[in-house]
Amino acid sequence: MICANITRTADGALRFGGADVAVLTEKYGSPLYIMDEARIRENCRTYKNAMAEAFGPAALPLYASKAASFKQIYRIMMEEGMGVDIVSSGELYTAAAVGFPMHKAYFHSNNKTDADIAYGIDCGMGHFVVDNVEELDAIDRIAGARNKIQPVLLRMTPGIDPHTYAAVSTGQVDSKFGSAIETGQAEEITRHALTCQHLRLDGFHCHVGSQVFDSDVYLRAADIMLHFVAEMRDKLGFVTTELDLGGGYGVRYTENDPIINIGANIHQVAAAVKSLCAALKLDVPVIRMEPGRSIVADAGLTVYTVGTVKRIPGYKNYVSVDGGMTDNPRFALYGSKYTVVPVSRTLPETVMRCSVVGRCCESGDIIQENVLMPADIRRGEKIAVLTTGAYNYAMSSNYNRVPRLPIVMVNKNGDYLAVRRETPADVAQYDV
């Protein structure tokens, strides 16, 4: 199947990370997120080992924890020696709650509140990735009030359209993120940062987009960023010690997505960075990359139980499930592709084309369109949506007061609950 951790037994039972999906669903109920701990760790090691080999031991991948943020994921990142990106006080709290070493954390976001900044500094945040001048001043002021020197990187927009979905492209000049190199604002904020008494500027960050399948955008981003680094040295005498190239390679949501060798791609980027640094007479800065989805996406799947099956002759077929846009809003948001399969059998000879839809009162509540399902599928059958480990739980909601699903982790010792299932009472707990 689309990832090696998904297999079927001879009689058609779906297995994920070595566990029987139907058995787990019996045990924990439906709908359910299942995550494969070994796969998460493997994905971390792919980045960590390749970056250490290609860039040297100081290079570190930062897991962009917005992709899936809950306590156990930060424990795993800690054990794997990863850094993390966080973007809110909520993610910071979750990481801090399990003792994540905050010197390896980077605080992102285009609009950090004063409260976020104060909480981050008080937690010992390794770096703030500063989006704009107002924020720079706020961090300087809040660090100053605590008599601290806060390390920062500045987020720059290199002006690259990564030819990916518009909603997940962030490197163009007109983006809401960062300061544009092209307009001179990047130089302006660098000059300003160097005057801030309570900040230590270590270098720059850029993020050119997500779900990219080759290194072309990284090579172009690195080229633009390193020229900027050289320009800041020449103009301002500023020595960049750290360069963050952003996240993350693509993942296979369907058989049509390419297979990517992440290690080989990292080596290719490293070779380009090193030769360009030599040409520009720069010491190679410490390199950061920020994979999110490629750490967790293929380590997750979602199991649903089929409810209503509606056949509208001459029009369309609908298979409704006991979840939907509340646990996976990505089709509704971006039209994201997913692979949907039966849990207890392979596709039979006789299939029907259908839309797999959720239970919410919203016609956009669609998990996937043009799915082939067994023609005789009916109420009670379990189906699985693959590659849901990234941006599903993280983007889930309680729309229609639907309780969120639990996350069950599987590893070689068995299975355990990483996030418990919400109850209707949980959903109403803050109502007065």
Ligand X SMILES: *Cc1c(COP(=O)(O)O)cnc(C)c1O
Label residue 223 exposed, middle or buried (CB < 10 Å: 0-12, 13-18, 19+). middle
- CB-CB contact of 190 with 232 (8 Å): yes
| 329 belongs to the binding site for ligand X (CB under 6 A) | no
What are the CB-based long-range contacts (under 8 Å, 24+) for 138-141? 138/112, 138/114, 139/112, 139/198, 139/199, 140/196, 140/197, 140/198, 140/199, 141/198
Instruction: Judge whether 360 counts as a catalytic residue.
Output: no
Nearest to 418 by CA among 75, 14, 84: 75
Residue type, 252: R
Closer CB to ligand X, 158 or 248, in the complex: 248
Q: State the nearest-atom distance from the C-beta of 106 to ligand X, in Å.
A: 9
d(CA 293, CA 29): 26
Spatial strand order in the sheet of 19-20 = 6-8, 14-16, 19-20
Residue type, 307: G
Q: For residue 76, how many other CB atoms are within 10 A of its CB?
A: 22
Closer CB to ligand X, 138 or 297, in the complex: 297
Does the bond joining 31 to the residue before it have cis omega, within 30 degrees of 0?
Answer: yes
The window from 188-196, 266-274, 289-297, 341-349 that contacts ligand X (CB under 6 A) reads 289-297
DSSP 285: P
Q: State the nearest-atom distance from the C-beta of 88 to ligand X, in Å.
A: 12
d(CA 337, CA 391): 13
| 248 belongs to the binding site for ligand X (CB under 6 A) | yes
Member of 171, 285, 291, 323 binding ligand X (CB under 6 A): 291
Member of 108, 127, 252, 330 binding ligand X (CB under 6 A): 108
The Cα-based distances of 284 to 140, 161, 394 in angstroms read 28, 25, 35
The window from 59-67, 96-104, 345-353, 366-374 that contacts ligand X (CB under 6 A) reads 59-67
Q: State the nearest-atom distance from the C-beta of 127 to ligand X, in Å.
A: 12
Q: Which residues of 21-53 are buried (b: 16+ CB within 10 A; e: fewer)?
A: bbebbeebebbbbbbbbebbbbbbebbbebbbe
3-state secondary structure of 158: coil
| 389 belongs to the binding site for ligand X (CB under 6 A) | no
DSSP secondary structure of 321-372:
ES--TTT-THHHHH-----EEESSS---SSEEEEEEE-SSS-TT-EEEEEEE
The window from 63-71, 178-186, 323-331, 374-382 that contacts ligand X (CB under 6 A) reads 63-71
* Subset of residues 189 to 228 that bind ligand X, contact rule: CB under 6 A: 207, 210-211
| 171 belongs to the binding site for ligand X (CB under 6 A) | no
Member of 159, 292, 342, 374 binding ligand X (CB under 6 A): 292
> By CB under 6 A, how many residues form the interface with ligand X?
16
Write down the catalytic residue from 123, 196, 354, 361: 361
Q: State the nearest-atom distance from the C-beta of 211 to ligand X, in Å.
A: 6
Write the binding mask 228 to 247 for ligand X: x where contact by CB under 6 A, - elsewhere: ------------------xx
Closer CB to ligand X, 248 or 329, in the complex: 248
Here the tokens at position 384 are: 């699985």
Closer CB to ligand X, 211 or 326, in the complex: 211
| 293 belongs to the binding site for ligand X (CB under 6 A) | yes
Closer CB to ligand X, 31 or 291, in the complex: 291
The window from 141-149, 291-299, 309-317, 393-401 that contacts ligand X (CB under 6 A) reads 291-299
Q: Which residue is nearest to ligand X (CB)?
A: 248
Closer CB to ligand X, 132 or 210, in the complex: 210
| 162 belongs to the binding site for ligand X (CB under 6 A) | no
Q: For residue 11, how many other CB atoms are within 10 A of its CB?
A: 8
| 330 belongs to the binding site for ligand X (CB under 6 A) | no
Q: State the nearest-atom distance from the C-beta of 66 to ligand X, in Å.
A: 6
Closer CB to ligand X, 262 or 306, in the complex: 262
| 67 belongs to the binding site for ligand X (CB under 6 A) | yes
Closer CB to ligand X, 150 or 157, in the complex: 157
417's CB contacts (< 8 A; 6+ apart) are 28, 406, 407, 408, 409
d(CA 8, CA 341): 11
Member of 46, 94, 175, 294 binding ligand X (CB under 6 A): 294
Catalytically active residues, by annotation: 361
Interface residues toward ligand X, by CB under 6 A:
64, 66-67, 85, 108, 207, 210-211, 246-248, 290-294
